[in-house]
Amino acid sequence: MPGLSALKRALVRSRIGLSGLDSRAIPRVRSAVMLSTSASGTVASSSPRFGSTALLLAALVGGIASYSVGSLASASPTTSSDSAAPTFGTPADFQLAIAELRTLFPANRISTDPDVLHAHGFSLNTYHPGAPHSVVISVESTKEVSSIVKIASKWRMPITAYSGGTSLEGGFAAHPQGGICVDLSGMDKIIKINEADSDLVCQAGARWDDINEILREKGIPLFFPLDPAPGATIGGMIATGCSGTNAVRYGTAKAEWFLNVTVVLPSGEIIKTRRRARKSSAGFDTTKLFIGAEGTLGIVTEATIRLAPLLPTNVAVAQFPDVRKATEAVGEILNKGVPIQCVELCDDVFMHATNNYGISTRKYPERDSLFFKFQGSSETIAESARVVDEIVRAHGGSGFELAKSEKEAADLWADRKAALFSGLALVPGSKGWSTDVCVPVSRLPDLVYETKKDLEESGLVSTIVGHVGDGNFHSLILFKTDEELEAVRGAVHRMVERAIRLDGTCTGEHAVGIGKKEYLYEELGTGTVELMKLIKRTIDPLGIFNPGKLYPDDPLVQSGGQKRT
């Protein structure tokens, strides 16, 4: 029976045998999933009612009896089916796919120009391997994305989403064999603002800073509080599970800021994960399945985002004897319940860079410093500042100064937000490797102090900036030569290992991509990583969605035959 054979192959790919099915369930699976196999081996649905959602359901039902999380944890990494890389089409197949795509899109929205392919496959922000795509297509609708995905499936062609191009871990690089780049940057419209409900519906290419500017222009006293790098898009923020300086007050992308998303699955099927209600207990939260999945499970095309009230703020700065004292002060401030919106650590090298860069006329003491952003009424801000000043002094800090005007507050915060450019200016002609890790706040003093010492002993020029209110630590490490680049790689590796040793994570907000995937077995454990891989194989059995990202190689493969410890 063709349908059962196709299902059996899908289950085998997911390490789930038909022996795991209850005998009474097999007829139900047969009737629910009617699959046919094309001449090229591509699995396609014979009925529009049953797409990859039905396949996912059947695979998961089959696995209930035979594949538990406990067995995942005890499974030998050498038996992982992920060790067999997906089989993509031939170069000739890819050319046939491109020819088919050209029949669907006007010439000005589909490109094989080498410069365009390179720009979408390489990033100036990363030093991980890159590769050019085979074709770049600018899309304008969810249906267009779906049509591209169906062709990609037909010809087994890798497909990668692109929007803001601000990824720091190689998230939008092409597969070495090439593939399709779906450029969503033109899908940047705000579809509807629901001011009464404090939410907004937009396309995936909309930029968070543009959204907030439009809300200001319309006089709507709301804003979207997640604030990664300028230029980041909603789709990219969802894909990476990002955050930013506001995380201490508002949390991250993995909190409740995305009410629902519209997603194109690897089958080409279009789904919406939830309704617009603020909360729901209708099943598990499929929205979060795609947050942080880095485009490996589906391509997000629209989202409903929550908005927050726009409250008055003010900014202050204080100096400390060292980074340990500064981070210890932050822990006490948080435990006192002071209503701060942001608290940022800027080390002495950063403060020197800020003085040199000259974005503002203000000159700072070149010492390890904390920048605070307070939120609320003038009375609330004044009381918060008083409490923070006392704690700062108790930890050896000094020079606590609250901005005296809105302009001064804006200038102070602009100096903090110019971290990348002021840091790069320290060494003319240098490049910068920007990375981050995150630990429990109480472990942050050890992480910051040890990392700063390590970087100094390595002879590398670097600045340290941290969203220290939630334990997130960033470093910009400068280099000019290939030898210095290798030294940077070693320093980043030690930083990550140090964070994991302190019960932290290899990436606080930059995602995994290519650069951090080797650490996931160590951080999450075999069972969790294998569960992630199982979900990937079930939803994307051809392995065409953003291949090579997020999911690590098996431990024996990573270490050249020696198991990582």
136 inside domain: yes
Quick one: 128 and 153 in the same domain?
A: yes
Quick one: 231 and 261 in the same domain?
A: yes
Quick one: 457 and 499 in the same domain?
A: yes
Quick one: 152 and 268 in the same domain?
A: no
Report the CATH number at residue 235.
3.30.465.10
Quick one: 318 and 415 in the same domain?
A: yes
100 inside domain: yes
- b (16+ CB within 10 A) / e for 369-390: bbbbbbbbeeeebeebbeebbe
Does an H or E element contain 193, and which? strand 190-194
**Phi and psi dihedrals of 476, rounded to 5?**
-110, 115
Quick one: 401 and 447 in the same domain?
A: yes
| Burial of residue 457, with CB atoms counted within 10 A of its CB: 0-12 exposed, 13-18 middle, 19 or more buried | exposed
20 inside domain: no
224 inside domain: yes
Cα–Cα nearest to 214, from 237, 191, 185: 191
Given CA atoms 527, 529, 533, 535 in this order, what sign does their dihedral have? positive
Quick one: 319 and 384 in the same domain?
A: yes
Q: How far apart are CA 342 and CA 244, in angstroms?
A: 9
pLDDT along the chain (565 residues), means of 10: 41 38 35 35 37 47 39 36 75 98 98 96 85 96 98 98 92 94 98 98 97 97 93 95 92 91 98 93 94 97 97 96 91 92 93 86 92 95 96 97 93 87 90 94 89 92 90 93 95 97 94 94 96 97 96 71 43
Q: In the prediction, which pLDDT does 7 show? A: 40
Q: In the prediction, which pLDDT does 35 show? A: 34
4 inside domain: no
Measure CA of the first residue to CA of the last residue in the chain; give whole Å: 46
Q: Facing residues of 272 across strands?
A: 262
Q: How far apart are CA 346 and CA 474, in angstroms?
A: 10
Whole-angstrom CA distances from 131 to 156, 171, 174, 489 are: 18, 11, 5, 20
214 inside domain: yes
Q: Facing residues of 313 across strands?
A: 375
Q: How many CB atoms lie within 10 A of CB 426?
A: 19
Q: In the prediction, which pLDDT does 357 show? A: 85
Q: Facing residues of 318 across strands?
A: 370
Residue at a domain's end among 142, 159, 183: 183
10 inside domain: no
Quick one: 214 and 238 in the same domain?
A: yes
Residue at a domain's end among 267, 284, 309: 309
Quick one: 443 and 494 in the same domain?
A: yes
Contact 551, 530 (CB under 8 A): no
41 inside domain: no
Q: How far apart are CA 184 and CA 262, in angstroms?
A: 13
Report the CATH number at residue 456.
3.40.462.40
- DSSP category for residue 105: S
In Å, how far from its chain's centre is CA 547?
A: 15
Q: In the prediction, which pLDDT does 362 show? A: 86
Q: In the prediction, which pLDDT does 230 show? A: 85
CA-CA-CA-CA torsion for 389, 391, 396, 401, nearest 10 degrees? -20
**Number of domains into which the chain is organized:** 4
Cα–Cα nearest to 477, from 468, 486, 469: 486
Does an H or E element contain 317, and which? strand 313-320
Q: In the prediction, which pLDDT does 555 show? A: 74
Quick one: 440 and 539 in the same domain?
A: no
- DSSP category for residue 197: G
Region of 561 on the Ramachandran plot (φ > 0 left; ψ -120 to 50 alpha; else beta): left
Quick one: 305 and 199 in the same domain?
A: yes
Largest CA distance in the chain: 78
Whole-angstrom CA distances from 512 to 97, 171, 281, 294, 517 are: 29, 8, 30, 8, 5
Whole-angstrom CA distances from 380 to 295, 460, 564 are: 42, 42, 51
Quick one: 141 and 275 in the same domain?
A: no
Residue at a domain's end among 255, 288, 309: 309
Q: Which structural domain, as residue segments, surrounds residue 304?
A: 190-309
Q: In the prediction, which pLDDT does 71 show? A: 38
